[in-house]
Structure 1
Amino acid sequence: MIWMAYESHNAPMVATFSTLSRDLQQTPIWRKLAVSTQRDYLDCHLHITIRKGNTGLLGDLPIAKWTVGLIRKYQDHRGESSESRANKELAYIKRVFSWAYEYEKIKFNPTLGVKKLSIKARQHYTEDSDYEFMLEIAKQSNYWYVWPAMEIAYLCRMRLSEVLDLTDSNELPTGLLIKRRKGSRDNITEWNPRLRAAWDHTITTRNRILADRKQPHPIRAEDRRIIISERTGDKIVLSSLKTAIGRVTVATKQAAEERRIIWVPFTFHDLKRKGVSDTKGDKQEASGHRTASMMNV
């Protein structure tokens, strides 16, 4: 009886998705990920592990019972509420199992062959009236950086993360040097009155914040972020900007209802699409996309 109790106490813990996921989160591989990626993966971990299955929570299901079919069914079911989140969570499941297989923590990778859901590319075009109305509300909001971020994103055809990457080093005599992500080509957007106004407002506000905080400017131009927090003086993180944009969107919707205006909401990424659509000349070159197919994303 004593021996049975000893064996039970010292029996190896059954591996589950939860345990593998948490193990991955303690590795150097995890620590090298961007903070925004870690946050997104932690959100994926939560939604996956609390999903209820036939025998309990999916996170507690022994790894031996994970199959291609189970993952495919999870993917399809999750896709009913959000196809994009379903694909992100599949990507995390694949990452966990690939890591575990590579380090011989499991003998079989059940994610092999499971494909992402096909999502039709969003093709919404933001009308000038919708954009200008939200821009007006943004200028009245408590988030000083939202309206210049909108203008710069639209006029330079930029992603949200690319706007946050901007520093003093991007300012050239001829225009803004746009260093693009996701394999797109860097290019320069020439100055025009609107772009100049948005940029100057951002620089002036940034300088005022640092002066009020008695905080010195970084020496190198590439370290001087243009969009910073009034509270900390540090670079605004992506999640904070998304939150601010979300609140301005809600305020815009409320203002439209109060004024009985028909206003169609749009995403921040729609501003890049609008900027490309409104460009006269070579749209692919202006967007920085290397191929025509990238224009549909």
Structure 2
Amino acid sequence: MSKRLKPGKPRRHNPHIPQHIDQTRLPARVYFDHRGRGNWYVLYCDVAGKQKRQNIANIHTTLSELHRIMEERKGITRDTLRFVLGRFHESAQYKMLALKTRSDYDYCRDLVVEMPTRLGKPLGDVPLRHFKPALIQRLIDRIAGEGTPSKANHILRYLRRVFRWGINRGYCDTNPAQGVEAAKERQQRRLPDIDTMMTLVDFARERGKRVRGEKGACAPYLWIVMELAYLCRLRGIEIITLTDANATTQGILTNRRKGSRDNIVRWDTRLRAAWNAATQRRADIWRVKSRTAPSHPEERTLIVAADGEELRKSSLDTAWQRMIKLAIEEGVIPRELRFGLHDLKRRGITDTTGTRHDKQDASGHRSAAMLDVYDLSVPLVDSSGTERP
């Protein structure tokens, strides 16, 4: 067994190193010999434990080439998919993404790099030169053919993002995922009926009164979130980011995402009751936790977690799924009538009275096509005939 070298001392500035090299970014254990024509070299120990020297590059070698040489010596291959994915997940662009997005990207990376291929090696070890649109299309079609079109499209979007990132930073030359056809997903446009919705609201309100941790208890804010989602036609993320600044004298000023227009939902008895319940719950939590309310309205989040901090979207999703599972197990709603929190927005838009223009104003959608995704009402029209004389 070869003898390992001891860790080296911090690198000192070497005036003989070429000016085009940033000495602070040199790979570890790479040295420069200025004698003669100048050479970069490394030191290693042979099987007998004797220190040896090996020249690895000349004076004209760039910093990036030095890094590549050292990575190859360590067995790291730069031209594989695994290498590019690894660099992306170490990048500042990845670290600035939302926690949920990073979690989704981590899931996609783990699936892709270990996926078996006919070459006898996992997909992550396949050289980048082999990646063509046809290969990516076969990959997406295969995953979709397993009955998981949504997973296939998640992976496709992920690969498009990574290859674009790699092109901009010199890791790859093309984006083989660009132009690949997405898998066709089944559209689930569930519309909960009014009785089921109100039954679940009452269930969430009653179970929210139980002590946290008690059997059958639910998050106490769920019934409020359900009411706001239906009455204001809001997404879950739009509800948990509401603050006191969204409460106006006329009603609730929405904070819609995905390009939708904001509007003010007028106060009524039901909407005011939900809002007041949320502010009272928040005040009780802050009092118990000895927290001082922020002075600026936009800093006072309406829905807070049990510790008084802002509620995370992932926490809301978990609480919702736990409540739905509990309601089904106890026979409150049948399994076939289960629905998602987002479906309450669809129910709210469908129940909005007035013309299509009125519904579009209420939903905030900028196009009639988007309204069609949410408005599942059936127009009532007159017949085309006239009465016979």
Question: 199-208 vs 20-29, which deviates more?
Answer: 20-29
The letter of the residue matching 2:204 is A
Q: Which amino acid aligns with 1:91?
A: R
Give 1:229's aligned residue. 305
Q: CA deviation at 1:82?
A: 2.5
Question: Corresponding residue for 1:188?
Answer: 264
User: Cα distance 1:47–1:199, how it changes in 2: closer, same or farther (>3 A)?
Assistant: farther
Deviates more, 1:85-94 or 1:162-171: 85-94
CA distance change for structure 1 residues 211 and 87 in 2, over 3 Å: closer, same or farther? Answer: same
Read off the aligned partner of 2:246 and give its amino acid letter: N
User: Which residue of structure 2 aligns with residue 252 of structure 1?
Assistant: 327
| Alignment partners' CA distance in 2, 1:184 and 1:83 | 27
* Matched letter for residue 128 of structure 2: I
Q: Displacement, 1:263? A: 5.6
Q: How far does the alpha carbon of each residue in 1:25-56 deviate from its partner, in whole angstroms, 9 at most, with x for none?
A: 22222233223322222222223233333323
Give the direction of change, closer, same or farther, for the CA distance of 1:45–1:57 in structure 2 (3 Å limit).
same
The 3 A distance-change label for structure 1 pair 23 and 172 is same
1:242 aligns to 2:306 (yes or no): no
Residue identity opposite 2:353 in structure 1: K
Which residue does the alignment assign to 1:291? 367
What is the identity, as a one-letter code, of the residue corresponding to 1:58? L
Change in Cα spacing, 1:111 to 1:289, as seen in structure 2 (3 Å) is: same
Q: Distance in 1 between matches of 2:169 and 2:342?
A: 38
Q: Which residue of 2 aligns with 1:197?
A: 273
- Return the letter of the residue paired with 1:24: F
Task: Name segments (4+ residues, structure 1) moved above 4 Å.
Answer: 1-4, 259-263
> Where do 5+ consecutive residues of structure 1 fail to align?
none
Q: Is the 1:123–1:296 contact (alpha carbons within 8 Å) kept by the matching residues of 2?
A: no
CA contact (8 A) 1:165 1:225 kept: yes
Indicate if the aligned counterparts of 2:77 and 2:83 stay in contact, CA closer than 8 A. Answer: no
Contact 1:16-1:63 at 8 Å conserved across structures: yes
Is the 8 Å Cα contact of residues 253 and 263 (structure 1) preserved in structure 2?
no
1:170 match = 246
Q: Displacement of 1:144 after TM fit?
A: 1.1
Which residue of the partner structure matches residue 39 of structure 1? 103
- Identity, % of aligned positions: 33
Larger Cα-atom Rg = 2
Residue 164 (structure 2) aligns with: 98
Corresponding pairs, count: 293
Is 1:51 aligned to residue 127 of structure 2? no
Q: How far has the Cα of 1:194 moved from its partner?
A: 1.7
SS of corresponding position for 1:284: helix
- Mapped partners of 1:58, 1:172: distance in 2: 55
Structure 1 counterpart of 2:63? none
Which digits, 9 at most, give the CA deviation of each residue in 1:53-98, with x for residues without a partner? Answer: 3323323333222221221122122224322232122111100011
Q: Quote the residue 1:206 is aligned against.
A: 282
Moved more, 190-199 or 13-22: 13-22
Q: TM-score, normalised by structure 1?
A: 0.90
Residues 187 and 288 in structure 1, CA contact (< 8 A), matched pair in contact too: yes
**Once the 2 structures are TM-superposed, how far is the Cα of residue 3 of structure 1 from its aligned partner?**
10
Which stretches in structure 2 are left out of the alignment for 5+ residues?
1-45, 47-51, 57-68, 208-216, 374-389
SS of the residue aligned with 1:176? strand
> Structure 2 vs 1, CA of residues 129 and 58 (structure 1 numbering), >3 Å: closer, same or farther?
farther
Q: Distance in 2 between matches of 1:289 and 1:189?
A: 15
Structure 1 residue 288, shift from structure 2 partner: 0.3
Whole-angstrom CA distance in 2 between matches of 1:50 and 1:156: 45
RMSD: 2.4
* Amino acid across the alignment from 1:137: F
Aligned pair in 2 of structure 1 residues 132, 49: CA closer, same or farther (>3 Å)?
farther
In the superposition, the TM-score normalised over structure 2's length comes to 0.70
- Corresponding residue for residue 278 of structure 1: 351
Corresponding position of 2:94:
30
Cα 1:289–1:12 change in 2 (3 A) is same
Q: Which has the higher helix share?
A: 1
Deviation at 1:250, TM superposition (A): 0.4
How far apart are the structure 2 equivalents of 1:22 and 1:11? 15
Match of 1:109 in 2: 175
1:8-27 map, 5 Å: 9=73, 13-27=77-91
- Counterpart CA distance in 2 for 1:93 and 1:115 is 13
